[in-house]
Structure 1
């Protein structure tokens, strides 16, 4: 057989035929199919009957063989007379199998050369050719081999695309989850699993395969059993009364069904009872106790969103920020999965309605949720089988008992008539009784009779004995009037603070100076509670009362409060990343007290304590303050995985910058918003806002930072060529502007992406130059990143000693920075490179210390 080696035939995609370096177009429908059938057996004869069936189908006429001979002649004219040989009763294409991409594809796979084989794949095999034989005999097999190859190589972009095209192929989805996990995108992997689980249930009525369920369990990492969160507030001391209610709760505990809903009027002691009982039964829930104040009836702020509470719980369960799913439904699924085999108590305090509670209910039979609310939440009773416990006002005997437990039995027995008057004035409201007891404790020399007379004279107009609301206001007024004027002023000003609690320095800023003495006075009077050292909180009723009182200093106090958060936030942001963009701010108002922060850990702790307040202030501040607050939280919210908050903050900044009519502020807010959407994987929206940022950016530095965020966005998408292009744009602009910090950052990105795309020589040169620049400006975080980039390049080049040296240098920097995760990942890379058992132990020890799920992920990677 004479071989026509000049012919090349591509079948992995639309048919393409090249003869002597020229593309040949085959006309009609039959001729291309004829060539494809012969090409799939290149060099080997194909029986005429098989060809006829493939080209004309099973229902062929008597002239099919004549038509076949005619088409063979036409094919010889187009490819060369010797291209198609007659072999017995069939025909053979006289080309080497290597000339047919589909056959070469199979041979490369047989040799284990996956990457080379996958490069041949241009799309659907036999695309555009109408032949059942080609599709069913060859096409199906090619697709199977292709999918298997992609799965084995675990190339993330291809896996993602193919999983969407083959939504029920579980082996493919398993490889996708593994690839996402290896890329550190556990949150996306968890969301993908939930997507597949719902599809299998809806379309096939089945659960995922055992392999997929095992992968899901590994992604979850067994967090809950080993973490044991302990979030219950301190127990009330002393606790008195409510024996019948405690017994009822004990009885409900025995019943293994539904949450418990404790309902009752404001101030009746729902939270106190729930927390006290939770402490009593804590040994029944060894895997932890979760608590959240849902702020359902806060007079100054909207109720806490369920998604916000979920993220807090997942953080308490030690789910790393990068593993947090983006969608609330996926977060709820992860939360329930983490608690599935645990015995955990969940206290949901101050719920507004059933919709706020439902996503937070654990599904495991060993867990229990206790909900407190002013409403009986009938929807929760119906939908979740909740068991209601209505909390009434204390009767006279219980009120006297509570007051006596706080006053001391001897003092109470000495003046029974006064005790009766005091309890009557409190109308069975535990909050009012606690304030009365606190007032009495502060004045041990006063007789209870005198205190009762004072309380009676402080009663409000229209006071209705026995009415809880009227009694509460009467007691509040009486206690407030007894305060020193400085403490009374602080009490009024604290109502301006929108967060769940207020720190000492923020309170001082409201007042314009030192307030520790005043806060101690308020705490002794039971008008505020010191929840943790130097953090103070109101009861909802007291906050509402304080807001009613108001103060002439409200506007100035709010300005000082905003300045406190803007300036302290700016300082905290600089500690997290001192080489990013600076936040322009004016001098703080006179009387503003700033929190001194000395380290990254202190900055993280401050942001963690103030995050809810910072988000609330975005609704209260001036347009300028809103922009500055949103920018100050940019790095923190990104690192900690509060990506929905980050989007909300930058949306507020975009709106505020438009109110300021500032293109500079809007451009900056848009690029931060774009990158925030990238964190959520919403890349189309990310690029829309990055485009807007570029259109508004007149300053070259602003344009450079925007291109930088675009390269990070493309990097998250897996589009490394586009990321490289954006990084080069940023580099050019930073370099032209003489911005050394930005130039070095962009150069590191150029080195990283070019290395990922195979340009090792330029990667080494750029990486070394970037490293020197980072050291020059003191950007230690990017110094360590660049060392890791260089090590990665040396690994690809087979230069093990150079790679090891870079990894060890990076370790030194990570240790100086206190970046434990950076240390762990570098130790892992080092262990993998030189089989260093000590490095492997160090990596696993650090990750177990910081992040149990990531430790499991790393061990799997090392295996």
Structure 2
């Protein structure tokens, strides 16, 4: 038995063999991992010396193999069919795969997936007992061990999770609870384990601990990766919260004294705004908060914007609504502008109380000096009265606390740029989140200010003005004021002036400090702590539409916990919006202001260093995510990240997809910024790491733009390898877009460069891409030739994954030429290679299963065809590979159609059409034609398919 799941050992005939020192044991382990396959000599050398081999490396490997061969011969292992043989390109260990513990482990795990829970537990325990520690322990550096064993390590954890699932289904939650606690501690970001732990806790009567485990996981995931828990875990939390009976096991039987002057009723509301935008939704929400005669609880209403941004119209809404309901408060309305963020000194609570007491008729000589005494008198005078109090522009909760009424017949409205969380928590205030204007509300505001005729005369300019002013009431009001004071200024010209982001704040500068956007923003900015102000400035130079918590920490070179506190300070000040958990953004006008503050407050070297750190974070994290999606991608060497950069720890496919989904727009913006700022290495490498995700999701136009940026950067660097790689990437993307002439131009240039560089792997991949172009053009003989070139080169490099891709391409080309038996032979060979890989290539498996289905279909083996298509679909859906999912759905529909199952054919084609329409792919027309031949209303089919997909 060859034992590599722990310290490398060989046992034969009941005794342990001496297989030498660490490097010799490592060589044996690599050969055992790839048992019955030739391991190329250059690969053995690269792995054994971690890409830094000595001059005599080949002779050293030869000596190791010779000694190992002698050990096996002495132990008479050859009589059991074991042999260590030399081949032209490398060495091969020939043996029964079940004599290698790693392969036996995988076989047992596979068996467990096809039996009942009790037997599965036994098989999985047997499989896991094969592990005696880290695979290859003590023989290789961590980096090399990770390259070789990451897939095995992941399979080990999955096996543990599978066993725990089976135990939970059998009602053994108490038995596994202690084990799960330890597992979650060891693997705190592994969602499946967390879910199992939560379920075990819940079933053990510890629901509150289950919910606390979820909250702890959500916080950790957000801080470390800027991600939310997956949908399944969110649903589990919801089910525990509502004590969903489905979480419980079925029954066992079903299982396996102040004087006041008489004064006029105070009516202190400011003048209502004639041009007030409707805001009907918020007015209705406020109406619902009006006190009733039987109310027993005082009300306090907080008006805030999305993160409370300045200029959103908080005061306008408060004052307008107060006028609307003034008659409901016959004892009066009090108002004070607390100037919490004004450049002058704010109005303190004591000052405001003094004014309110005077308005309520208290003799000036009777007003107490002490703040608490003033507040007590104020509350006493309001008792039993129906009064409305508007506290405008508060700084924080303490600013308004003494001004809150205690009588349930009164109502207080508080406006603030801060969220006033403690006012909500301690005083039961209702937070009203005030959003930007709707488009209709913005048009109404401009119509009121400019007149119906002028607005109607330039509808396109009006629409552009609204978007450039981000539907912010203050910005629109300033723009309208400029147009009003300059009657000859067309709205089109005003919109043109606003298009320049760098000058937009200048255009919206009125000279009036109360209406100048810079001044209004500055009042919030200058209340920040020094660290929060620095973060705000640097966020003004980050390239994306939003930013995650880890990215912000890397941008500013601070600990993630410190970054979280500063981001919270910015959101509370309404200078930033946490639009989804862990992701932050500000609107374009605030972004422009932050950028100006960065130029004024941060030296150019500091701004450039911040961008460098952020680009390093994105690049290194993107590569980690790309490797999880495609473990067999061609390697790319990155420079070490800048000091202070902590890349995200992406460890599995699901996390990688979620990270790319959240970040890909930002990564595209980062690529463009890198090119503009002279970070050309980042500008070509970022698209290289992002490309697989963009291809899977069908974002081919984005991939094209990024690829062109990358190619220009590679040319500026004079890096021919980077140029070759980028030409090939563009060739693939143009093939996806149906631009075959452009694809061939780039791929042929890539091939020339790879040949000049002597890069056989690069050539093989490029031949594969050329074959794909020819296949798409219907030039199947040429596609066959390219696939054969790819196969020959891949065999020379010893790349089994690339060999499998080439064999599948050969099979597909043979199928298109009518050679279906040859197609089956090549594709079955490809599938065997793919399933023998240590890091599973699910996309390659899915492609090959689709090819097998296609060949079986044309041979009339319709049952086999459908089975292969369904397996391919399951893999494509796991991967999020939308285009190939649509292609396989089309093939599946074709088979159903031939067998006479028209309903199944129609459903498969409908689902394919929905995806292709969403991708904007030209193949949609072919599928629509198929549906039209079954049903004369293809558009109805498309919409019906969309509904069913949702």
Q: What is the TM-score normalised by the length of structure 2?
A: 0.43
**Which TM-score applies when normalising by structure 1?**
0.47
